[in-house]
Amino acid sequence: MAPYPGARVKEVRLRVGALASVVEDSLQFCYGIATEGTPLEGSKLVVNAVPVVMRCESCSADVEIASLQSFRCPRCNAPVSNLLQGRELEIESIEIEEAEETVKK
Ligand SMILES: [Zn+2]
């Protein structure tokens, strides 16, 4: 955060896959504590849930898995194991409010 002195982070957007074992409520709670006294203090954490998508070898389709209890293709019911997305835990974007700009307005 050093390159932007006086800048304040307004919002942090995360991409969290359904398989990332992250509970949004706990994440929000920890975020508030972890950011106290940092340039991130008071910023908003936005969590974008990423659904689990797998490649079905039987019908060659990329399918969204609705239930994490059974990894089966919703089209042909074959078991699927080729994970394409759903394990993400990454920052999608960070919105910064520059201190100078705020003062000018
Ligand atoms: Zn299939």
CATH numbers and ranges of domains, the chain: 1-51+86-105 (3.30.2320.50), 53-84 (no CATH)
Looking only at the bridges linking them, the beta strands covering 44-50 and 89-97 are: unpaired
Q: What is the pLDDT of residue 80?
A: 95
Q: What is the pLDDT of residue 101?
A: 55
Distance 76 CA to ligand 1 centre (A): 4
Distance CA 88, CA 49 (A): 9
Of 48-57, 61-70, 95-104, the range with the lowest mean pLDDT is 95-104
Per the prediction, the chain carries an average pLDDT of 90
The two counts, helices (H) then strands (E), for the chain are 2, 6
Q: What is the pLDDT of residue 39?
A: 86
Distance 28 CA to ligand 1 centre (A): 36
Tokens representing 59 are: 């019908």
pLDDT at 21 over 60: yes
The SS3 assignment for 85 reads strand
Distance 83 CA to ligand 1 centre (A): 13
Mean pLDDT over 11-23 rounds to: 94
The SS3 assignment for 71 reads coil
Distance 72 CA to ligand 1 centre (A): 8
